[in-house]
Chains A and B, each alone.
Chain A
Amino acid sequence: MNWLKSRYPFAPIKEGAFFFVTDAGSYYTVDIALSKNRFGENTILNNHNEVYEISFARTGDVSHYDPTVSNTLIFILFTNLSARGDTSIYFYVCDTTDGLGKARARLFDYWMIKLGEQLHGLEKYNFIVPGFEKDEYDVSLFIFKNHPNHDAYIIEFEKCLRDNFSKHNFL
């Protein structure tokens, strides 16, 4: 668990949101927010108060790979996902608007592999949604394998991505 040994100190901004500052002076923000009314009329996903959206951002450009950043992000995810128990599920919409979407998705996969080594039974499902042209969007869903609503959540999540996804109450 190298990611536990070498990481940046981080601090909370508000409930579910954290930040840290790298040696290069970049700020990273992490947000793990309860997702309300994001799934249209879907009562299964909207009503259980256990669906969270994960998002990240950073300031400034990164000129070189800093492994301590990955370690810190994995640590923040590990502590928060552990604290929310095994019944919560999470999703992540990968930002593909700047041409770095595939690289970002790969990096996120790497973090989740490391996270999954500690959170056994956590599964990741990638939903590839076609855009209007040749672009596509990568939306990930995380759910524990033994979740009692495992199959229903995956089916409903896919339905939403086909028909009824919403940005409501995102901010």
Chain B
Amino acid sequence: MGKFIVMSKKIFISKANSSVVHAIKESILAKKVKHEKLLESINPSLVESLEKMKKIELVKK
């Protein structure tokens, strides 16, 4: 198995197609919308469960 490599393999795109740049920009915006929708669809009872779990964990510590 190889070693994990980070930051050592940078590939510079010398000149990107303008449609690619537009697509990247649009995808960043679309990603924000997607995460807003994810937030809206969170089940409140799950939030309650997570808060309870955090409290239980704190008691254990």
A123 touches B38 (CB 8 A): no
Is A113 close to B, CB under 8 A? yes
Chain A min CB distance to B38 (Å): 5
Q: Which among A14-22, A42-50, A75-83 touches the partner chain?
A: A14-22
Is B10 close to A, CB under 8 A? yes
State the interface size on chain B (CB cutoff 8 A): 47
* B contacts with A: majority SS: helix
Residues of chain B within 8 A (CB-CB) of A152 are none
Q: How far is the CA of A167 from the CA of B34 in the complex (A)?
A: 12
Chain A min CB distance to B28 (Å): 5
- Say which size band chain A's interface belongs to: 35 or more
The chain B residue sitting closest to A33, CB to CB, is: B34
Q: Which residues of B contact A (CB under 8 A)?
A: 1-7, 9-21, 23-39, 41-42, 46-47, 49-51, 53-54, 57
Q: Which residues of A contact B (CB under 8 A)?
A: 8-11, 13-14, 17, 19-21, 23, 27, 29, 31, 55-57, 59, 93, 95-97, 109, 112-113, 116-117, 119-132, 137, 139, 145-146, 158, 160-167, 170-171
